[in-house]
Amino acid sequence: MFEYLQPADRPVIDGLEQHEIVMAKNQPEYTPLRVLPGNEGERLSRWTLTAEQREAVAAGADIFLELLTFGAPMQPIRVAVSENPNPDFFKAGYQLTEVL
């Protein structure tokens, strides 16, 4: 099995939807991606696994990350796992301000 993960069809962080933007919204060659933008160029996205992918990971399968650099140097990246991330953590870390 080698199946790509898909972006989650839900807010990146519950409660912070008003800060989200959609990357590749008008680029049909890419899948639109909801992201929570940080103050210094960070982009946090949320991904989901199918039931089969969850079983595979639970049984020891690895997660692969492919990064398209288009010839530029590779950017720092991180991959995390969480069920219910705390919005306050991202408000502070991403320096988000209230949207009026």
Contacts of residue 57, Cβ cutoff 8 Å, sequence gap at least 6: 49, 63
Residue 36 identity (one-letter amino acid)? L
Report the domain count for the chain. Answer: 1
Q: Which domain holds residue 18?
A: 6-93
Query: Does a structural domain hold residue 99?
Result: no
User: What would you report as the CA-atom Rg of the chain, rounded to the nearest whole angstrom?
Assistant: 15
- Long-range CB contact pairs, 81-85, < 8 A, 24+: 84/14, 85/13
Which pLDDT score is estimated for 43?
Answer: 95
| Averaged pLDDT, 84-93 | 92
pTM of the predicted model, to two decimals?
A: 0.86
Query: Does a structural domain hold residue 100?
Result: no
Candidates 10, 92, 77; CA nearest to 46 is 10
* pLDDT above 70 as % of the chain: 98
Contact (CB, 8 A) for 94 and 42: yes
Which pLDDT score is estimated for 98?
Answer: 75
Query: Does a structural domain hold residue 98?
Result: no
Which pLDDT score is estimated for 75?
Answer: 87
